[in-house]
Structure 1
Amino acid sequence: MEFHIDSGALTEAVAWAARVLPARSPVPVLGGLLLEATDGRLAVSGLDYEASARTEAEAEVRGEGRALVLGRRLLDICKVLPPGPVECAVDGARLSVTGGGVRFGLSLLPLDDYPDRPRLPAPRGEVDAAAFAAAVGQVAVAAGRDDALPVLTGIRLGLDGTTMTLAATDRYRYAVRTLEWKPAAQAPAEALDVVVPARRLTELARSLAGAGTIRLGLDGGSLGFESGGTRSTTRLLDGRLPRHDKLFALGEHAVAVTARGPLVEAVKRVAVVAEGDSPVQMTFDGTTVHLQAGYEDDVASQRLPASLTGSPTGSAPLTVAFNPGYLLDALGSFDTPELALRLLGPGQRALITDTADATGTPDAGGATHRHLLMSVKPLV
């Protein structure tokens, strides 16, 4: 096998495929990347037992063939290659990488021990890559981190008609984002509801954000993504996330509206004195919100403009308090200038939405983003 390729194109392809390589594996060949040179193209593939990735790049192929090399070592080499053309060739039991006056040699791994690449699942439809990446990022902040509860470390992906729903929860917060998508003509009509590992889905969505359109596929226990010459699969998690419908139905509640940017900065400031699980308290009096954190002499506070309607306390101020990290995650997942906080009262659920989402229903484009937080006991 021998091919010539631009160092930038090689680095990009190797970096993309290397995303799925396991940090540690009892099976050495799973740390490898498979290079396949044929017909003017170089394909780079990586896999473990949970995910796979394959991408292609243009190359001048002078000798077709396949080679399996340590993926992270090849990526390290690519990162230090000088700009310009690179020559790669199998020389006995190693792959040589030459460019810009520097030469590297990599031992080959046994191809016979390498598992077959998973096939791409049957197509279900298409979604805008940038919108999908943004939506995944908005809900991923609420996904759990406790591997003892694996289903809570995932993101629910639901498909119903032309609406895609992404959702995540760690039991203390719950983020839901809907967006439009285009089902394939031959796709089954029934709704789909699966759970995808949040870390994998986040990395994949971010890497494909500039791809234009992503084609999604589902087959058995895996979800597949394809765009141009790039393909990836990831296994699904067993189980289902708890439904959010009843949680998001607040009934009679107050609505506070305030500017998002100043609120984020204010929470960051006052949270400096919030040690451990100490909350940030927010007191709405109708025209302002007073933020406060800390205890005794170590305190911080700031007041911002904010409106409040429908308060259950009547004309009395309404006070709620939140874990500052959770609150910042929620506020940071929005990109609108103003936010609406739907409040039931101290120690109860609070729903954060865009102010345009006045009823908690999708807009004309089929998109909403909602983030539910549990408030905690206010400061004494």
Structure 2
Amino acid sequence: MEFELERDAFAEAIAWTAKGLPARPVVPVTAGVVLEVTEGTMIVSGFDFEVLNRIEVPVTDKSAGRVLVSGRLLAEIARALPPKDVRVAVEGNRLAVRCGSVRFNLPLLHIEDYPAVPDLPATSGKARGDVFATAVAQVTVAASRDETLPMLTGVRMEIGSEALTLAATDRYRLAERHIPWTPTGTVPSTAVIVPAKTLADVAKSLGSASEVVLSMGDADDAGFLGFSAGGRQTLTRLLDGEFVKFAS
């Protein structure tokens, strides 16, 4: 695997993906990021069984490939690179990162031990990025931080034919917002519970885009909800349980 790209694009992609990695992973390989290069695109992804972050960046590729390296180390290296084009190549059992006169080597991790990554479900619809981000910020503050009641640490998202309804409560306060959205085709009305922390992170990282695309799974992958914008994708596992009744 060998490719080249601009320093800022490389650093931003690695930093965004690595930020979502677990600090103390139960499975060590989930502290890594997967770099995949194919047909002029670098795909960087990180997955901890609960959340998948994935970003695509155009590159000049000389050979395709897929490797796993430490996310924390690669993010530190990317941040320290000078403002010149970056060349990345697999050399034996190491990943070589060159930028100007600077060179770093990272050991490759065993990618065969990496967990299977779920696919992003089909697109369900889209909402304006700024409206979505504002609504999420206003609602997530009311979510509970008490892990003994997991469903209250999430945001209830009700998907209708013309609007998304977001609601969160910690039993002492309630926040609710209705925002317009545009379904893709016929989307059945349903409600899911999204982890509040993940939803807040999604709003911060994708909310500056003109549109945020929502992807809802069917019967085979109904346990996940996807968000995408500007080449970035986040897929989160939904919370189980029934949300408290808050409206008649």
What are the within-5 Å matches in structure 2 for residues 323-338 of structure 1? Answer: none
Percent sequence identity over matched residues? 46
- The equivalent residue for 2:169 is 169
CA distance in 2, matches of 1:19, 1:238: 25
Match of 2:190 among 189, 192, 195: 192
* 1:221–1:235 CA contact under 8 A, matched in 2: yes
Secondary structure of 1:165's partner? strand
Question: Which residue number in structure 2 is paired with residue 270 of structure 1?
Answer: none
Q: Give TM-score, length-normalised by structure 1.
A: 0.62
Pair 1:222 & 2:227 matched = no
What is the rounded CA distance, in whole Å, between the counterparts of 2:62 and 2:123 in structure 1? 34
Q: Distance in 1 between the 2:190 and 2:215 partners? A: 11
Q: Within 5 A, what are the aligned runs for 1:212-251? A: 212-219=210-217, 220-245=222-247
Deviation at 1:226, TM superposition (A): 2.2
**Amino acid of the structure 2 residue aligned with 1:239:** G
Aligned length: 244
- Quote the Cα distance in structure 2 between the aligned partners of 1:105 and 1:148: 43
Which residue in 2 is equivalent to 1:4? 4
Contact 2:206 2:228 in 1 (8 A): no
Corresponding residue SS for 2:25: coil
Larger Rg: 1
Aligned counterparts of 2:164 and 2:26: Cα–Cα separation in 1: 37
Which structure is richer in relative contact order (CA contacts within 8 A, separation 6 or more)? 2
Distance in 2, Cα, partners of 1:214 & 1:85: 30
What is the deviation of 1:228? 4.3
- Given residue 191 of structure 1, which amino acid in structure 2 is its aligned partner? S
Q: Is residue 52 from structure 1 mapped to residue 85 from structure 2 by the alignment?
A: no
- Alpha-carbon RMSD: 1.3
Q: Quote the offset at 1:58 in angstroms.
A: 1.4
Unaligned runs of 5+ in 2: none
Measured against aligned partners, the alpha-carbon deviations of 1:324-365 in whole angstroms (never above 9, x if no partner) come to xxxxxxxxxxxxxxxxxxxxxxxxxxxxxxxxxxxxxxxxxx
Instruction: Give distance in 1, aligned partners of 2:123 and 2:190.
Output: 13
TM-score with structure 2 length normalisation? 0.94
Equivalent-residue separation in structure 2 for 1:199 and 1:15 (angstroms)? 18
Query: How far off its partner does 1:156 sit?
Result: 0.8
1:355 paired residue number: none
Q: What per-residue deviation string (whole Å, max 9, x for no partner) do you get for residues 273-331 of structure 1?
A: xxxxxxxxxxxxxxxxxxxxxxxxxxxxxxxxxxxxxxxxxxxxxxxxxxxxxxxxxxx
Residue 172 of structure 1 aligns to a residue in which SS?
coil
Aligned residue identity for 1:235: R
